[in-house]
Structure 1
Amino acid sequence: MRKLVLAISMLALAGSAAFADPVQDRQALMKERGKLAGQLVKVVKGEEDFDASAVLTTLKALQANAERFDAEKLFPAGSDKGDTTAAPKIWEDKAGFNAAEDKLLTNVKAAVASPPADVDALKTQLNTIGGDCGTCHQTYRIKKG
């Protein structure tokens, strides 16, 4: 009986994942990304002490976040409706949109591969990563208000 209940539960979970809302999924991924970047910004601003281990852990989490980005699943046709700030340019220029995300992932991987030894090095890396985010937001995001 337990095996049957477990099997049914697994099917229900798999079914709900198949019908996940791409708008909510991408918003959750971006909120997580923003929180991680915000942690690094606090260090750069001197609001938190530089701790090389903590910074590397955050950079690795940022890399994992960027690796979970799947434009086809998160931005399928028709997901430009509803409560979203995704700009139509995403669907008009999929190659450019994917290239922007690939650039971010490349730069985050580089930061993880060569972790910053101090705040100045982190600032340089964060400027690069933040520039990637800003470029994408300027091109592929509708500004609220």
Structure 2
Amino acid sequence: MIRTVLVALGLAIGVSAVVAQSNPIAERKEAMKGVGAATRQAAAIAKGEAPFDAAKVQAVFKTYGEAAKKVPTLFPESSRSGGETTAAAKIWEDHAGFKAAFAKFDADVTKASATATDLASFRTAFGDVTKNCGACHETYRIKK
């Protein structure tokens, strides 16, 4: 009985992973949730609501860097609609610009990761990095 339950659970987890991998809208939403959570944590540090912690700051930048590399690959033509996406048509109309925006984000994250060594430098680096978010959302996201 226990073996049957474990096998069923294993299959369910495996199927969930395959579904997520074959659903770019779900994958990009999940990646952006991670970015949002990292941003909330970083904003608390920048505002002085949480203490500066170099390890946490580097974890934030790592999350951003991973998203910068992964997210642009999650916009195949087949994902223009469905899944309650807020992706604007501009992504597919200007795919080169969209990819360039993420490349800039990635470069800024790499620089920020190297320069954010204390609260003051973190605040500057975090501000520079998050400007990318606003610019991309203005151009490539449907406003609700």
Q: TM-score range by the shorter chain?
A: 0.7 to 0.9
Q: Across the two proteins, how many residue pairs are aligned to each other?
A: 132
Gapped runs of 5+ residues in structure 1?
none
Deviations, residues 36-66 of structure 1 (Å, cap 9, x unaligned): 1111111001110112232123222322332
Structure 2 spans left out of the alignment, 5+ residues: 1-6
Q: Establish whether residue 136 from structure 1 lines up as the match of residue 128 from structure 2.
A: no
2:4 corresponds in structure 1 to none
Given the alignment of the two structures, is residue 117 of structure 1 paired with residue 112 of structure 2, yes or no? Answer: no
CA RMSD of aligned residues (A): 2.2
Taking the TM superposition and a 5 Å limit, the aligned residue runs for 1:92-111 are 92-111=93-112
Of Structure 1 and Structure 2, the greater helix share is in 2
Higher relative contact order (CA 8 A, sep 6+): 1
Conservation of the 8 A alpha-carbon contact between 1:56 and 1:115 = no
Query: Aligned equivalents of 2:30 and 2:137: distance in 1?
Result: 16
User: Would the aligned equivalents of 2:34 and 2:63 in 1 still touch at CA under 8 Å?
Assistant: no
Identity %: 39
Deviation at 1:79, TM superposition (A): 1.0
TM-score by length of 1: 0.80
Q: Is 2:15 the counterpart of 1:37?
A: no
Cα distance in 1 between the residues matched to 2:103 and 2:53: 28
Number of the residue aligned with 2:27: 25
TM-score by structure 2 length? 0.81
